[in-house]
Amino acid sequence: METKTKFMKDIAPQKNVLEIKNLSLEFKNEDRIVRVVNDVSLYIRKGETLGLVGESGCGKSVTSMSIMRLIDSPPGNYPAGEIIYRGEDLLKKTENQMAKIRGNDISMIFQEPMTSLNPVITIGAQIEESLFIHRKLTKQEAKIKAVDMLEKVRIPRAEEIYKAYPHELSGGMRQRVMIAIALACSPNILIADEPTTALDVTIQAQILELMGKLKDEIDTSILFITHDLGVVAEMCDRVAVMYSGEIVEQADVYELYKNPKHPYTRGLLKSIPKIGQTRGILPSIPGQVPLPGTFTHGCKFRDRCEEVMEICHREDPGFLEIEQEHYCRCFLYTTIDGKEVSSHE
Ligand SMILES: Nc1ncnc2c1ncn2[C@@H]1O[C@H](COP(=O)(O)OP(=O)(O)O)[C@@H](O)[C@H]1O
Ligand code: SF4
Ligand SMILES: [Mg+2]
């Protein structure tokens, strides 16, 4: 039986800007080793937005921080896997090599802009920083570019805001500044880790709209991380669904909404509010994401799964292509000797 994950078939590998292959990440705290990412494979194509979605604690942030090599080692360790960018494994890069890639080739924006912005440095100087490091611009050139970036992210009175400090701006404006900083050097990949979660609903919608427009204006691919499948529908071309440190489903966004396969994805889709429905009466998936290290074998979703079978307690489901470019990690779609697993029970 197929239980080990094969890396996804590359239909056009030259079009992938990033490929994560069978990545695992462990943290060693005191004498305990806990695996927080297990056998994660995903790819991002040039110019596309890939959504990475899952409940809190699923491992979305540690996966994206691994791409930027922002996980300290120790306690972090990668027992397996590769993160391929421009044909090279980012996990093998030195800190000096990574410093040339961060903010230049790959940039990241975080949930809470206030903690990422330096409170004692002006907005303009913070945008210029990466332009000095990576583009070697003169002071005057960098200022022109910084003001231009503020205009690109639709900040009014850009010249004035250039001289302002972070505390003088609202949360929404600060997040626009973070986007300006991240895009200043025209990165090939922008990682947005729950960029609108800390903002109120109206501002959230404005930032999402801005990101959608910028994606068309600036030639960048986006890894868009969220716990909200409703946001994914607006923003993304393809979706990877993460549960307990593993990708459990990956497909084109239309395919995933029309034809969800994994019981976890189906549960998440049921909890998206429909027009006219209030949040209070939405069904949610009973139970919680298990703490890392809770399960050493078997399907990690089994305690919450309505379709659990005997094999789900014993064996690890592999991550398999069940339809073209539609991948799923579930025994409902695994066959043994041509027969469905469920018929063996
Ligand atoms: N430095 C660390 N040491 C141990 N566990 C960690 C560390 N950082 C994150 N984790 C654990 O990794 C899991 C995934 O976390 P995270 O990536 O932040 O989830 P998400 O972004 O999906 O909410 C969580 O259980 C979290 O507690
Ligand atoms: S492998 Fe089993 S427990 Fe896991 S999602 Fe599929 S049916 Fe449910
Ligand atoms: Mg997170």
Choose the residue to mutate in 25, 40, 61, 246 for probing ligand 1, maximizing ligand atoms within 8 Å of C-beta: 61
Domain that holds residue 148: 120-184
Whether 178 and 272 map to the same domain: the answer is no
> Residue 93: inside a domain, yes or no?
yes
The CB-side HSE value for 230 (13 A sphere, CA atoms) comes to 12
pLDDT given at position 340 = 67
Q: pLDDT for 284-337, tens place per residue?
A: 888 989 998 888 889 999 999 999 999 999 999 999 999 999 999 999 998 766
158 with 82, same domain: the answer is no
Q: Are 50 and 60 in contact (CB under 8 A)?
A: no
Report residues of the chain scoring pLDDT below 70: 1-14, 274-282, 336-345
Q: Do the domain assignments include residue 53?
A: yes
> How many domains, in total, are found in the chain?
2
Q: How many CB atoms lie within 10 A of CB 305?
A: 19
pLDDT at 2: 42
Distance 245 CA to ligand 1 centre (A): 9
- 133, 267: one domain: no
What are the φ/ψ torsions at residue 269 (nearest 5 degrees)?
-65, -35
- pLDDT value, residue 334: 83
DSSP secondary structure letter of residue 33: E
Tell me: do 42 and 154 sit in the same domain: no
Residue among 211, 208, 232 nearest 220 (CA): 211
174 and 195 both lie in a single domain: no
CA of 333 to the centre of ligand 3 (A): 29
Locate 2 and state its tokens.
């197929």
Q: What is the pLDDT of residue 257?
A: 95
The domain boundary residue, chosen from 289, 309, 339:
289
Asked if 171 and 111 count as a contact pair (C-beta separation under 8 A), the reply is: no
What pLDDT does 342 receive?
A: 59
User: Same domain for 203 and 278?
Assistant: yes
Q: DSSP for 282-324?
A: ----SS-PPPTTS-SSS-TTGGG-TT--THHHHSPPP-EEEET
How far is residue 59 from each of residues 11, 36, 237, 246, measured CA to CA in Å? 27, 6, 21, 8
Q: Does residue 59 lie in a domain region?
A: yes
**Token code pair at residue 122:** 């002006």
272 inside domain? yes
Q: Please state the atom number of ligand 1 nearest to the C-alpha of residue 72.
A: 1
**How is the beta sheet containing 106-109 ordered, strand by strand?**
106-109, 189-193, 221-226, 49-53, 238-243, 246-252, 326-328, 320-323
Residues with CB under 6 A from ligand 2: 262-263, 299, 301-302, 305, 307-309, 312, 317, 330-332
Q: Residue 140 falls within a domain, yes or no? A: yes
Give the pLDDT score at 109.
93
